Amino acid sequence: MLKQDIKTATTEALKAGDHFVVGVLRMLSASILTKEKDKRYKISNEKPDIAEEVLAKESELTDEQVIEVVSSEIKKRKDAIVLYEQGKRSELAENERKEIEVLKKYLPEQLSSEELKKIVEESIANTGAKEIKDMGRVMQDLAPKIKGKADGGEVSKIIKEILIKK
């Protein structure tokens, strides 16, 4: 399970004395825990009579949900990089890039640009999209196929390029 891999990696980084990686992984673990608490709260409100053991089991995140958390953390760091660069704080931007490299280890293998373009073209054909206003339908069709495997910004850029040519 991915969550366990992250815990193991944190322990190994601690033993190795790699405080940077430990910090990044602890931040990630905290985000995962927050998501699990949110899920637990929601489940307990929907099913107030649920047993504690069942609630604990049901509120654990699946690997897919952990991947969503990792992707979200990477997106936060990419947004921070843009802001740091605008503020002429390149050392902070570089730190965020290093954190992204650590986090990327917990994502599934990313699709290449060619593979992504091919999948986008298939989705455009499947949905019958002809212009930019059809982009939402294409994204909806694409989402399950590329979840965690590609950056949303890159996907939307490819969709726009293809639809503009039509």
Please say whether the beta carbons of 77 and 103 come within 8 A: yes
- What's the pLDDT score for residue 125? 86
Query: Above 90 in pLDDT, residue 157?
Result: no
pLDDT average, residue stretch 14-39: 96
Q: Mean pLDDT over all residues of the chain? A: 91
> What is the model's pTM?
0.79
Give the C-alpha separation, 5 to 25, whole Å: 11
Query: Above 90 in pLDDT, residue 82?
Result: yes
pLDDT average, residue stretch 50-58: 87
Give residue 166's pLDDT band: very low, low, confident or very high (50, 70, 90): low
Query: Residue 75 burial by CB count (10 A; 0-12/13-18/19+): exposed, middle or buried?
Result: middle
Please say whether the beta carbons of 106 and 70 come within 8 A: yes
Both tokens assigned to 115: 């593979």
Give residue 2's pLDDT band: very low, low, confident or very high (50, 70, 90): very high
Give residue 134's pLDDT band: very low, low, confident or very high (50, 70, 90): confident
Most confident listed range (52-56, 91-95, 104-108, 157-161): 91-95
